[in-house]
């Protein structure tokens, strides 16, 4: 894996372009910086300044090469590359609280914004007026929407919220698309319909992700649990309580395996067995450097006892690659079906690119099914 | 000039109660939860079967009920069982519990911390250490995030 430290401040959010040569990230302020890969280094090529509040979500559409950003100033902007500069277009979201997350739909003709106003704004481009228009999904959301993910059919949207529930909504916009075919989550999909609502887990839902086929959805919740639900006549839910601190982001890397990361600063693998409808812990994906165990001199021992009231020789230094919570995880190569590389960014201002093959060979018991 | 002669009762109004968007937890109908069976637990303690007493006292936790008396009674009972254990037996007892049992034990331990009495904190701290090694930090996170507590 390769670690690159961009900043000293946390990276609020990031997004990659189609060929993974450029990354757009927010350095915990009102701007978006775009870095380009330059051999082994990263050079800043663009600075996007339009937001008046912290940028909380960035998504880069691979095919149409447009960036959508949303921030705490209750606005979203769609940026298009004109020549050598990125030009913003304001999108009126009609929200009265901060926007928290934004995602382009798979066909890139719509995007959804989750906000603190307890609603989701689904925005689409109206050709007649040459303007982005939005529709709201309000019921039955009762608190801030923290995370979103689109189903591959471009209509269903999974949303994790602070009211302790993960829901799947239909975001069908008749102006831009045809009626969708039936899916595992249901066949009637009018706009705003709740196709699935989770029960059982307590705790804010920090991260949500559809699998590649769209038949499964996984979410990570603040009560240190991860859960997977499989669509069907009756949705089957499997959850796993973990012994670690809460996880903040989760993604599928194959149809049966998930990688999640959070406040413990290292990514973790989970494996879902659909026959038993059970989720199990697959392994810690960080390879700690084996620090040489020096023998403690008597002087050091007394110093430790004096300073820290302990004779423990273990230092209070994190052994993981990231030195602070990991807040976002994104797939680089291979898609959600056969991910080969994924990337994590965190509150330590660093970005790590993880290679699935090297992880598999490095950790003996790791099996990614 | 220096004395406020107009009523200031308006300052004590709880404005959050009148907020139409106030978050209300779902009702789960916990009227029938009575907590662990006192008689059964007492007899198990007296007969010396402490492991059995622990299993029995962790049954039927009064999680959904709003009746505070039931919750206090349950907590008192749990404390009685926990104090009856010898220090050396605590670890084995914790190992015998499953994941949900460890989470529930953590909830009771933290509730016990809220109202310390003579020796309870010391005993609870010993139990806390063993439960932590079994349940990890995650079990403490679940105590903090649970909307329905014992």
> Is residue A81 within 8 Å of A46, Cβ to Cβ?
no
Could you read off the pLDDT of A187-239 as tens digits, one per residue?
989 999 999 999 877 899 999 999 999 999 999 999 999 999 998 877 788 88
Would the ipTM clear 0.85, i.e. be above it?
no
Q: Closest Cα partner for A252 from A187, A158, A171, A349? A: A158
Range 94-133 of B in CB contact (< 8 A) with A: 99, 103
Per CB-CB distance under 8 Å, the chain B contacts of A118 are 21
For residue A56, what pLDDT is reported? 95
Q: pLDDT tens, B85-95?
A: 888 888 999 99
CA torsion angle for B64, B70, B76, B81 (degrees, to 10)? Answer: -60
Q: How far is A226 from chain B (nearest CA, A)?
A: 12
User: Pairing between strand A99-104 and A205-210?
Assistant: unpaired
The pLDDT of residue A214:
92
- Helix or strand (DSSP H, E) at A207: strand A205-210
Q: What are the residue ranges of helices labelled H in chain A?
A: 298-308, 356-362
Chain B nearest CA to A247, separation (Å): 10
Asked if the C-beta of A69 comes within 8 angstroms of chain B's C-beta atoms, the answer is no
Q: Which regions of chain B are under pLDDT 50? A: none
Nearest to A346 by CA among A331, A323, A326: A326
> For B137, which of A163, A222, A245 is closest by C-beta distance?
A245
Nearest-by-CA chain A residue for B99: A241
**pLDDT at residue B146, as a whole number:** 87
Strand-by-strand arrangement of the A156-161 sheet: A145-150, A156-161, A166-170, A194-197
Note whether A244 contacts B139, CB cutoff 8 Å.
no
- Is B21 part of the contact surface with chain A (CB cutoff 8 Å)? yes
Q: How far is B108 from chain A (nearest CA, A)?
A: 17
| pLDDT-flagged residues of chain A (< 70) | 287-296, 310-317, 364-367
- Give chain A positions within 8 Å (CB) of B138: 224, 241-245
Burial grade of B98 (CB within 10 A; 0-12, 13-18, 19 or more):
exposed
Going by C-alpha positions, the residue among A325, A149, A175 that lies closest to residue A251 is: A149
Residues B101-133 have pLDDT tens digits of 999 999 999 999 988 888 888 899 999 999 999
Nearest residue in chain B measured CA to CA from A223: B142
Cα gap B41→B77, rounded to integer Å: 8
Closest CA to A122 of A190, A59, A173: A173
**Residue A141: what pLDDT?**
92
Best CA proximity match to A323, nearest among A351, A348, A297, A349? A348
Instruction: Report the candidate in A354, A145, A144 with the shortest Cα–Cα distance to residue A260.
Output: A354
Structure tokens at B80: 């009685």
Three-state DSSP state, B70: helix
pLDDT for residue A55: 96
CA of B37: how far to CAs of A71, A173, A279, B69, in Å? 54, 56, 34, 14
Q: With CA atoms as reference, report the closest residue to B141 among B113, B115, B103, B108.
A: B103
Question: What is the model's pLDDT at position B38?
Answer: 82
Tokens 């009126």, residue located: A92
């Amino acid at each position: 894996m390769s670690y690159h430290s961009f900043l000293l401040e946390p990276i609020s959010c990031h997004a990659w372009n189609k060929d993974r040569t450029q990354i757009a990230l927010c350095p915990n302020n009102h701007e978006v910086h775009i870095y380009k890969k330059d051999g082994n280094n990263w050079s800043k090529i663009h600075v996007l300044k339009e937001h008046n509040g912290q940028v909380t979500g960035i998504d880069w559409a691979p095919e149409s090469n447009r960036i959508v950003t949303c921030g705490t100033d209750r606005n979203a902007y769609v940026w298009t590359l004109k020549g050598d500069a990125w030009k913003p277009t304001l999108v009126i979201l009609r929200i009265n609280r901060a926007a928290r997350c934004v995602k382009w739909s798979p066909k890139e003709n719509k995007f959804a914004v989750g906000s603190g106003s307890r609603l989701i704004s689904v925005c689409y481009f109206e050709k007649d007026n040459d303007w982005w228009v939005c529709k709201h999904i309000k019921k039955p959301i009762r608190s801030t929407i923290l995370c979103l993910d689109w189903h591959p059919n471009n209509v269903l949207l999974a949303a994790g919220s602070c009211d302790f529930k993960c829901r799947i909504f239909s975001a069908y916009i008749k102006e831009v698309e045809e009626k969708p075919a039936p899916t595992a989550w249901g066949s009637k999909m009018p706009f705003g319909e709740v196709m699935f609502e989770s029960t059982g887990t307590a705790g804010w839902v920090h991260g949500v992700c559809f699998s590649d086929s769209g038949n499964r959805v996984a979410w990570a919740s603040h009560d240190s649990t991860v859960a997977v639900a499989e669509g069907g006549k009756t949705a089957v839910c499997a959850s796993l309580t973990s012994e670690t601190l809460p996880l903040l982001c989760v993604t599928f890397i194959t149809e049966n395996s998930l990688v999640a990361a959070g406040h413990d600063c290292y990514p973790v693998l989970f494996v879902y067995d659909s026959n038993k409808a059970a989720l199990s812990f697959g392994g810690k994906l960080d390879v700690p450097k084996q620090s040489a165990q020096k023998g403690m001199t008597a002087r050091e021992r007394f110093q430790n006892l004096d300073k820290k009231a302990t004779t423990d020789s273990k230092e209070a230094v994190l052994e993981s690659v990231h030195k602070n919570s990991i807040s976002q995880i994104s797939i680089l190569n291979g898609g959600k079906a056969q991910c080969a590389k994924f990337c994590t960014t965190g509150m330590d201002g660093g970005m790590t690119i993880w290679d699935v093959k090297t992880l598999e060979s490095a950790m003996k018991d790791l099996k990614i099914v | 000039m220096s004395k406020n002669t107009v009523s200031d009762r308006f300052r004590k109004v709880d404005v959050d109660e009148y907020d139409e968007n106030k978050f209300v937890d779902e009702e789960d109908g916990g009227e029938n939860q009575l907590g662990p069976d006192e008689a059964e637990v007492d007899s198990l303690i007296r007969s010396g079967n402490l492991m059995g007493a622990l299993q029995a006292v962790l049954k039927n936790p009064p999680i959904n009920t709003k009746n505070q008396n039931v919750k206090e009674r349950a907590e008192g009972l749990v404390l009685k069982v926990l104090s009856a254990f010898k220090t050396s037996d605590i670890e084995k007892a914790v190992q015998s519990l499953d994941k949900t049992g460890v989470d529930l034990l953590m909830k009771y331990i933290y509730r016990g911390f809220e109202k310390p009495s003579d020796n309870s904190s010391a005993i609870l701290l010993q139990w806390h250490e063993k439960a932590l090694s079994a349940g990890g930090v995650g079990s403490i996170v679940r105590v903090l995030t649970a909307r329905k507590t014992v």
